[in-house]
A and B are shown apart, each in its own frame.
Chain A
């Protein structure tokens, strides 16, 4: 038994599974302490996510932006940089999407592609600036990117607040043109007679019609695959990993350490910004004056942590994270329990995963006691 446990603890997935279990235990305690029936709560949560294909699709749609920020943080992390600035880069991506989506009329297909390219460049340069600060003045990227997050946030408010941008009587920018939207089916299609008939007759198409599902999902998957390929199979990825693991050895081997930091942050920031642009192009359609940031970048840090910086892992970690959030909303609406309870669970989960390096030691201790 002990030996089996010790062996199980050494598996890479052990941390995630264990953290989930502990997360649920803490969630149970939190629900019970709040005077709610935990069994009921979790069954709501479960059915909330799995009771229909629409709901499952919604979780997938929700997972896209945090998977993108997760990928951004993970990629930089693999190369030894901590990109806390995914939040700011994501916001700049949203601004790019909203502005080009409305002000620059273009034919369909080209329009979203152009937005994605621009968002990548904008986010990449923004994050690259943090890397430049590090290279030139030795300013740590954690400090600079946190500051850049606030600049991006207030810049968004500034843009939305401009007379020429804000839609009169609202708190947001104008809705982007239809040519810039990347949903599989236009949102209005749901309510047309034709759309209703199609979603009734085809259970397969229904979740695609009734949610904001779109090409963002595919782009996210391609991004994950690309980043994984770059890291694992290319000279650039090899260099980036070498710098990430041991910048001194990389420097001594004549690798361009500074240029790599710049490259890594550029790609990382670009990915985060594309996430922001895709959110605008598939779900929000405009940017809004917000009292606080939406936190996609922060969620991305948790996602990257859960995935231990593996690009493919980020896809699944994003799904897990989105499912927990979506299920949490269900607990809130069905039981009137505060969302904080689900946030406690997610927090516990992330904390436990951060403790993963302790697991092999725990395993050793178990073996020792035999």
Chain B
């Protein structure tokens, strides 16, 4: 039972947590008013996820006290957290991929007919209604692996609500969403709060905090910086609280001086695994010395387009000409040899070998080169190590002595820096960056975007695929809008705005 008298839904007082010698949290306080959206802001590795994992019972704090609705509680595991009404939606979803949406939501408390048979009709109706009730509409019969990430997130939220939680923790909820989806998530959060729920969002996106949150607590390097009412501050205030210095929110760059076409795609058609064409008769080109951004809602063929370019997927028809040579239906090695290097959108699956150390990850694409060779078939780990140390210093990857550390242990931002460093170092003709700042904090975003601009300035072609319009408008020299597998517009960013692009992204241009 919830007591209306409790001013705070959650109080965490004097929380400390160390991992070995590393102090992840040092005497941090967090007080969340009942029935509000509370943002927890901090750079990657600042300790905000750790704090929430303590609240959710995944870690235990070394010191400190937790109160829920004014009463001191001892939370040792997620099960206890749920029984205290706390639910968490993780950044990496935890869903059973080959089960339906409804099955995932009811998992553990399925409605049954006689002899324990699953009552599908009832389950599906129940979930349909349940979704409507919270404005989170889903088709209960769809299988998780076939639906978009936004829908998967909705399922995760519904799953938590279905277990009757009052306090919902969302870890980086907007990292995977399109602008429209973000707006609808904010609406959802508002209606949940109106319903008496309390929401804590872990994020480093200032804009969304301004749009959605009531209060904001800022953590930097494990220390509490402060809690503010969002209505009292500006985006810039929050940014400097988080980073500890003044930050630029836009990337500085000169006008592009585009050269000849590095890649030209003509009438490309690509089918997905189910045989449905996702890229339809698409044509585009990228020139030396420009950043071309592909804007579009997730699922409009971006993934298949990039897979076709990088040799992971066969195409049905059309050409992908790189410096005049057709690489369509080639292997990944052909793409590499053509001078295209790619920052993949899924850095854990495609970009890194998490068990490898940082040095080993640096040479993932270049290990055959002479500069890393010892005698005969041997790799010279000494040379690799020197190289790693140079890149770590040059790209300010932290911790500074991480060359022998498994890349798994690095923060997301630093993992991305490893990939960016590796890619840029190869001096590609065409650099493809897919969602390069997804899940990164302000400092790392600033870094990645300037790195892309710098590549452009060095005369390379840069192709940016991003679901974030801010990003597209910030660094693109030219914008192609993809809708339903085709390019529907070729725009100059200075002659367009967010609304116009948003409309094209939603298919309004046709």
Residues of A within 8 A of B (CB): 233-236, 238-239, 241-242, 245-246, 248-254, 256, 368
Known: A249-B351, A249-B352, A252-B351. A242 touches B364 (CB 8 A): yes
Residues of A within 8 A of B60 (CB): 368
Q: Which of B352, B354, B356, B377 contacts A235 (CB 8 A)?
A: B377
The answer on a CB contact under 8 Å between A246 and B312 is: no
The answer on a CB contact under 8 Å between A252 and B377 is: no
Q: Is B395 in contact with chain A by the CB < 8 A criterion?
A: no
Residue of A239, A242, A254 most packed against chain B (CB within 10 A): A254
Q: Which residue of A lies closest to B349 (CB)?
A: A248
Residues of A within 8 A of B310 (CB): 252
Residues of A within 8 A of B381 (CB): 233
Q: Which of B443-464 contact A (CB under 8 A)?
A: none
Known: A235-B367, A251-B332, A254-B335. A245 touches B312 (CB 8 A): no
Q: Which of B350, B368, B373, B379 contacts A252 (CB 8 A)?
A: B350
The answer on a CB contact under 8 Å between A254 and B379 is: no
Query: B355-387 interface mask toward A, CB cutoff 8 Å, 1 = contact, 0 = none?
Result: 110001000110110000110011101000000
Residues of A within 8 A of B13 (CB): none
Apart from the given pairs A245-B354, A249-B351, 5 other A-B contacts in the complex at a CB distance below 8 Å? A234-B378, A239-B367, A242-B356, A246-B353, A251-B312
**Min CB distance, B405 to chain A, in Å?**
15
The answer on a CB contact under 8 Å between A253 and B349 is: no
Q: Decide if the interface of chain B is mainly helix, strand, loop or mixed.
A: loop
Q: Is B344 in contact with chain A by the CB < 8 A criterion?
A: yes
Residues of B within 8 A of A235 (CB): 367-368, 373, 377-379
The answer on a CB contact under 8 Å between B352 and A254 is: no
Residues of B within 8 A of A252 (CB): 310, 312, 332, 342, 344, 350-351
The answer on a CB contact under 8 Å between B312 and A238 is: no
**Min CB distance, A262 to chain B, in Å?**
16
Q: Which residue of B lies closest to A243 (CB)?
A: B353
CA gap between A307 and B381 in the complex, in Å? 25
CA gap between A368 and B310 in the complex, in Å? 47
CA gap between A245 and B356 in the complex, in Å? 8
Q: Is B336 in contact with chain A by the CB < 8 A criterion?
A: yes
CA gap between A252 and B361 in the complex, in Å? 13
Q: Is B333 in contact with chain A by the CB < 8 A criterion?
A: yes
**Min CB distance, A2 to chain B, in Å?**
14
Q: Which residue of B lies closest to A239 (CB)?
A: B367
Q: Is B150 in contact with chain A by the CB < 8 A criterion?
A: no
CA gap between A254 and B310 in the complex, in Å? 9
Residues of A within 8 A of B349 (CB): 246, 248-249
Q: Which residue of A lies closest to B335 (CB)?
A: A254
A-B contact pairs, 17 of them (CB 8 A): A233-B378, A233-B379, A233-B381, A234-B377, A235-B373, A239-B367, A242-B356, A242-B364, A248-B350, A252-B344, A253-B332, A253-B364, A254-B311, A254-B335, A254-B365, A256-B333, A368-B76
Residues of A within 8 A of B365 (CB): 253-254
Q: Which residue of A lies closest to B355 (CB)?
A: A245
Q: Is B331 in contact with chain A by the CB < 8 A criterion?
A: yes
Residue of B332, B336, B344, B381 most packed against chain A (CB within 10 A): B332
Known: A235-B367, A238-B367. A254 touches B353 (CB 8 A): no
Please provide the 6 A-B residue pairs with the shortest distance between their CB atoms, ordered closest to farther.
Answer: A254-B333, A254-B332, A252-B350, A234-B377, A245-B355, A253-B364
CA gap between A246 and B355 in the complex, in Å? 9
The answer on a CB contact under 8 Å between A254 and B367 is: no
Q: Which residue of A lies closest to B61 (CB)?
A: A368
The answer on a CB contact under 8 Å between A250 and B353 is: yes
The answer on a CB contact under 8 Å between A234 and B379 is: yes
Q: Which residue of A lies closest to B347 (CB)?
A: A249
CA gap between A251 and B360 in the complex, in Å? 16
CA gap between A253 and B76 in the complex, in Å? 42
Residues of A within 8 A of B368 (CB): 235
Residues of A within 8 A of B331 (CB): 254
Query: B27-62 interface mask toward A, CB cutoff 8 Å, 1 = contact, 0 = none?
Result: 000000000000000000000000000000000100
